[in-house]
Amino acid sequence: MSQTTNGIPASSLGVATWQKSRHSNPHGDCVELAKLEGGKIAVRNSRCPGGPALVFARAEMAAFIQGAAERNFSGRG
């Protein structure tokens, strides 16, 4: 794995250990996260494990989680 970019096939991330939230539903409609080398975090759709993965820096993921917890994503443009 020489370079990790957004939209990279999740299957090309090697031995990434993917984890679902303990709040995942039984239908498998979930996202999974994996810690990558260099402190980055990958996100993929659990229903398409070999499909594209989005890759974020830890600070980007922390900001997203904080925004979600504070309900900053209302869907209003």
For residue 31, the cross-strand partners are: 45
Answer yes or no: are the C-beta atoms of 57 and 39 closer than 8 Å.
Answer: yes
Total domains in the chain come to: 1
Q: What pLDDT does 2 receive? A: 52
* 77 within a domain of the structure (yes/no): no
* 14 within a domain of the structure (yes/no): yes
The pLDDT confidence band at residue 76, using thresholds 50, 70 and 90, is: low
pLDDT more than 90, % of the chain: 36
List the domain range (segments joined by +) for residue 23: 8-69
Please state, in angstroms and rounded to a whole number, the distance separating the CA atoms of residues 48 and 9: 10
- pLDDT tens string 11-53: 888 888 999 888 777 776 788 999 998 889 999 988 888 889 9
* 64 within a domain of the structure (yes/no): yes
* 50 within a domain of the structure (yes/no): yes
* 19 within a domain of the structure (yes/no): yes
* 76 within a domain of the structure (yes/no): no
* 74 within a domain of the structure (yes/no): no
Does this model's pTM top 0.85? no
Q: What pLDDT does 1 receive? A: 45
- pLDDT tens string 3-18: 666 888 998 888 889 9
* 75 within a domain of the structure (yes/no): no
- pLDDT tens string 60-71: 999 998 998 898
